[in-house]
Amino acid sequence: MVTVSTPLGNAQLVRYARQILLEEVGESGQARLLAAKVLVVGAGGLGVPVASYLGAAGIGMLGLADSDLVDRTNLPRQVIYSELDIGYSKVQRLEARILDNNPEVQIMTHPRLTPENASAVIEAYDWIVDGSDNFQTRYLLNAICARQKKTLISGALSRFTGQLAVFRPGDACYQCLVARLPNRDATQGCVEGGILGPMAGLLGCWQALETLKQILALSSRLQEELLLFDALNNSSHRIRMRKDQACPVCGE
């Protein structure tokens, strides 16, 4: 009789039982998640749901990068933080909550990514999830991910609309998609534009799910497509992204 060995321990088989049940995951998929190293950039509206769900799903090594402190205006959408967390480091509070849920995740905390530190931080991870709220960080992550051949899972929100895109090495990159910094009206973040909390939860969960699909290499994962959704009108659609051969980041 041939016994099939599993890389998972008994406690892991119990903890992850419901996701292992999915034929898209199985024990081998769970082992892939446990071996994955994912950096979550931003511990705000998107970063909180992304990191919480990735930690709970059993991502082996999770990086959290942000220098912000919890502010009272964050609480309606960054729901794992409490009144008692106001004034304290977001990444430290987020790390503690993730470990409460799943103590076997290895968590590394980093300050906000800048042109000076980003390259060294990103080097330690295989998958980069962008939950930042500004174009400077998006361009920075894109350039470094293209150079280091890392997959970037990008999310952005504006009022009731959200967008999700995956930039894999060799495919169209963020710079191909957004060649120039958009004008101010199109770049309103939640500070100027306003936002309802579930919008951040919705897009952050979608981003976490897409990250799991990428790690599991499911054929239905986003590939050179931009997913747009409009929550006010309950609609979503995908558009194909085209590589710009003259792109200064990924072009010839």
Using CB under 5 A, list all residues that contact Zn ion. Answer: 173, 175-176, 247, 249-250
**Smaller CB separation from Zn ion, 176 or 212:** 176
Tokens linked to 92: 């430290």
Which of 117, 143, 134, 4 lies closest to 63 in space, CA to CA?
117
CA-derived radius of gyration, the chain:
18
In the complex, least distance from residue 56 CB atom to Zn ion, rounded to whole angstroms: 33
In the complex, the smallest distance separating the C-beta of residue 67 from Zn ion, rounded to whole angstroms, is 28
**Ramachandran angles phi, psi of 226, nearest 5°:** -110, 125
- 43 or 173, CB closer to Zn ion? 173
Token pair of 129 as six digits: 């999830």
Which residue number, 91 or 146, has a Cβ lying nearer to Zn ion? Answer: 146
- Minimum CB separation from Zn ion for residue 172, in Å? 6
Handedness of CA 81, 85, 87, 93 (dihedral sign): negative
Q: How many CB atoms lie within 10 A of CB 174?
A: 24
Q: Closest separation between CB of residue 133 and Zn ion, Å?
A: 22
- Rounded Cα distance, 246 and 19, in Å: 42
End-to-end alpha carbon distance in the chain: 54
**Nearest-approach distance from CB 247 to Zn ion, in angstroms:** 3
Q: How far is the CB of 127 from Zn ion (least distance, A)?
A: 19
Which amino acid, 208?
A
Work out how close the CB of 102 gets to Zn ion at its nearest, in angstroms, rounded to a whole number.
Answer: 36
Residue closer to Zn ion (CB basis): 17 or 179: 179
* C-beta of 175 vs 207, nearer to Zn ion: 175
Please tell me the distance from the alpha carbon of residue 92 to that of residue 247, in angstroms, as a whole number.
Answer: 38
Least Cα distance to 171 among 225, 227, 246 occurs for 225
The residue ranges of DSSP E strands in the chain, in sequence order, are 37-41, 61-65, 106-110, 127-130, 151-158, 161-167, 225-230, 235-240
Nearer to Zn ion, 50 or 156 (CB): 156
Q: Which is nearer to Zn ion, 102 or 142 (CB)?
A: 142
* Closest residue to Zn ion: CB criterion: 247
> Phi-psi region for residue 222, left (φ > 0), alpha (ψ -120 to 50) or beta?
beta
